[in-house]
Structure 1
């Protein structure tokens, strides 16, 4: 049953996303289960002409798209300008059951975590497609950049591995979070999350960014203390110097993905995420930082 509102304004789009995930048949941790994959989402918006997107060509990769570049790939004949676009981002938080199971693990992903990495991301993909269809049906041109045929992962740039559209960085632009020592996005709903995005031809107002810097909600960068994610990483890919992406990737591809296929799901899944649980930012902004005055 389609209970989605007709999305003509930001509140409708947020309601559309919430309604999709509130339908049990669309939010299952695995086929046939009654357990949800995700808790209720958090939604934010960035303007398409926000200068932060141009900065991502430096801070993510020179090949990273601006919202207008992504939109033009979906609509080659468009006359849209960046100022006419909005980037909608949403945070899908892991449930307490998933986080509880995963918190207990030391070297390998829990079954529930692997399920959300597989079926939960399939739900996220379906949500992207659903939101785009509903927007277009309401007369609002939209696309999900990571669902475009031109989207790709890229290597060899300044940060080793990147992509032509980073949903985490789009969510940061939309006021939804800042980055931690492990590169994960720390949001008001925590770091144990997945992210989805779309670009729409709609001059919707931006969600305020309640931070000045891109690492403001990380205890380590804010106070010089913590480093809990370093201790949680079984690959030794985290240190005070940051995230060793090749080492992280090698552990996932060589250890956790084969384990998930062999012992848990019968299919390889690039699941790890141990640095996202058992840490002060697991389910929210660290409490110690909420007591500090805002910068800027």
Structure 2
């Protein structure tokens, strides 16, 4: 079942027409990475303390989706979608705002394509007799903020960490074997699949700065100084990526204003853009 799911995700990403921009003349995403975590992994309960008490566990996701039924999730599927080279390269030379290509990705890649992928995989598993839920489609899913900045009650980065797909960066991005310029999605299913092991010794092991005190490339790339030795100022970052001017920039080129233009400068033209820098530095 593990390989079957992986191959189905890879097939969908490579063949589905929604993963191609006629305007940019490139796919939005390259071949994905897919890994699995046990739905009963104690890390999911720990996230209520690490992230927020509202953060959902896989069992809570199933309790909401299948209220009144005695259903138990067994596996969490996490998917890494590496942003394609042409879109990444368009953003490398930017100094103040995201490139048009990166901005269009936010509307047509992030929302449209990823939603289609998770819906397809959910149907794929349902047809095989396994109840499956995309937590971000539940009415209980929410994005909100606290004194530290924006967050959600189903963090794709933390789900990916649980599945052993990578670790966190000083800029709060997620560094995988295919780098930090990625998107993430996930599903919870009752299919029993052997979980992948977390190989990282630390939750920031792939970040050159946090592991070795070197790099600081993303510090220099941030146009609003939101990344420093103290960490990542999520509020300043959010205002830049999704504020009024960002929304106007997205609208001006045919994107969804609500999605904003994003930024991604701290994910491009840096050592961890498309690979794990610690893999070559050890």
Structure 2, unmatched stretches of 5+, are none
Does the Cα contact within 8 Å between 1:109 and 1:256 map onto a contact in 2? no
Q: Provide the rounded CA distance (Å) in 2 between the counterparts of 1:194 and 1:166.
A: 12
Structure 1 counterpart of 2:31: 40
Q: Which of 8, 13, 21 pairs up with 1:21?
A: 13
Which residue number corresponds to residue 96 of structure 2? 107
1:254 aligns with 2:244: yes
1:145 to 135, 140, 154: 135
Aligned to 1:69: 60
Distance 1:235 1:257, change over 3 A: farther
* Aligned CA distance change for structure 1 residues 230 and 254 (closer, same or farther; 3 Å): farther
Q: Is 1:171 aligned to residue 160 of structure 2?
A: yes
- The corresponding residue for 1:216 is 205
TM-score by length of 2: 0.94
Cα distance between partner residues in 1 of 2:122 and 2:228: 39
Asked if 2 retains the 8 angstrom alpha-carbon contact of 1:219 and 1:289, the reply is no
Instruction: Say whether residues 1:129 and 2:128 are aligned partners.
Output: no
1:49 equivalent to 2:49? Answer: no
| 1-structure distance, mates of 2:7, 2:82 | 17
Q: Which residue of 2 aligns with 1:197?
A: 186
Are 2:107 and 2:256, in contact at CA under 8 Å, matched by a contact in 1? no
**TM-score, normalised with respect to structure 1:** 0.89
- Distance in 2 (alpha carbons) for counterparts of 1:219 and 1:266: 34
Residue 229 of structure 1 contacts residue 238 of structure 1 at CA under 8 Å; is this kept in 2? Answer: yes
Q: Which residue of 1 aligns with 2:226?
A: 237
Partner of 1:3: none
**Aligned-partner Cα distance in 1 for 2:199–2:19:** 30
**2: CA distance, partners of 1:193 / 1:26:** 17
Secondary structure of residue in 2 paired with 1:265: coil
d(CA) in 1 for partners of 2:25, 2:234 = 36
Task: Please provide the CA RMSD for this pair.
Answer: 1.6
- Give 1:33 deviation, angstroms: 6.7
- Tell me how far apart the structure 2 counterparts of residues 34 and 138 of structure 1 sit (CA, whole Å): 35
Cα deviation per residue 1:203-247 (whole Å; 9 max; x = unaligned)? 211111110211000001000111111111112111111111111
Quote the offset at 1:255 in angstroms.
Answer: 3.0
Q: Which runs of 5+ in 1 are unaligned?
A: 1-8
